[in-house]
Amino acid sequence: MKINAKKVVITGASSGIGLELLNLLLEAGAIVIAASRSIEQSQLSHPNLSKINCDVSIQEDIERLFTFAQQELGTIDLFIANAGFAYYEKLGAPDWNHIKDIFATNTTGLFYAAQKMKIIKGAAPYNYVATASAMSFLSLPGYALYSSTKAAIRGFADAYRFELNQGQYFQVVYPVATKTNFFKIAGNNPPVPWPTQNAAEVAAAIIKGIERNSSNIFPSLLFRLTNALDRFVPLISYFYVRSENKKFQAWLQRNNPVKA
């Protein structure tokens, strides 16, 4: 898919990877509807840009987003489901709403929007891009719920692609830790997993992947190579997770020190 003049909807567009993607889309000549929980209050402005507040964890908001997009654009060529958040935590007493909230935003809303796109487009070509995570393949200590929401996207994509028509693409992005406010929001000054990339690098890789209609987009070549190698040398992931667990245990000590 060539981005130029395409009609695009992107969620999670107010910061981080989403904001970088939004800028690249506009630079390429796309006509874009940007959505996030409070994007209408932002100073973002461009002749090809429309904004709408949308909480993707709420069904009615997603319905309203699609209605607005069809009214403004006529059709949608590319939908980028980028909204998401993480918890960095040690799970304690079961909390139904705590679990429901992260799945509603990271997973349920994404699946629902994917099905909406298919119904709207019928047999016509389109691209649907879902931002997952390297943790779709390798869950890390402290991110039990987050990792599971992202692994679910990978599982959904692998099966759902068989239901699509020719020229319809469900593309999944697997970024490594990205240098944004994402991790600060996830917990009380959590350690950032290694390796890292900046949001501009990730966004540029996503645009290239979209243009190539790639099923899976790996912004980090290092992760792609080590993930492939891990199938033959599983000790790579074993020692990596142990290293990240040391960071997690140290974080727990800082935030929940054991009283003498």
Domains annotated on the chain, with CATH: 7-255 (3.40.50.720)
Q: What is the pLDDT of residue 181?
A: 86
pLDDT level of residue 186 (50, 70, 90 thresholds): confident
Cis peptide before 219 (omega within 30 of 0): no
Report the percentage of the chain scoring pLDDT > 70. 98
155 falls in which pLDDT band (50, 70, 90)? very high
Using alpha carbons only, what angle is made at residue 18 by residues 143 and 56, rounded to the nearest 5 degrees? 70
Separation of alpha carbons 49 and 30, rounded Å: 9
Q: Which sign, positive or negative, has the C-alpha torsion 207, 202, 38, 142? A: positive
Residue 33 backbone dihedrals phi, psi, to 5 degrees: -110, 120
Beta-strand runs (E) in 45-125:
49-53, 78-81
**pLDDT exceeds cutoff 70 at 259:** no
Across residues 191-205, what is the average pLDDT? 96
Instruction: Give, in order, the Cα–Cα distances in Å from 135 to each of 102, 141, 223, 227.
Output: 15, 10, 11, 11
* Residues 6 or more apart in contact with residue 215 via CB below 8 angstroms: 157, 161, 169, 170, 171, 172
pLDDT value for 258: 55
Ranges of beta strands (E only) in the chain are: 7-11, 31-36, 49-53, 78-81, 126-131, 168-173, 177-179, 196-198, 216-217
Burial class for 97, CB neighbours closer than 10 Å (0-12, 13-18, 19+): exposed
Q: Where are the alpha helices (DSSP H) in 74-140?
A: 96-103, 109-121
Average pLDDT (52-78) is 98
146 with 100: CB under 8 angstroms?
no
Strand order in the sheet with 216-217: 49-53, 31-36, 7-11, 78-81, 126-131, 168-173, 216-217
Mean of pLDDT over the chain: 95
Per-residue model confidence as pLDDT tens digits over 232-245: 888 899 999 999 99
For residues 54 and 147, what is the distance between their CA atoms, to the nearest angstrom?
A: 24
**pLDDT digit string (tens) for 110-123?**
999 999 999 999 99
pLDDT above 60 for 106? yes
Q: What is the mean pLDDT of residues 57-85?
A: 98
Dump pLDDT digits (tens) for 19-50: 999 999 999 999 999 999 999 999 999 999 99
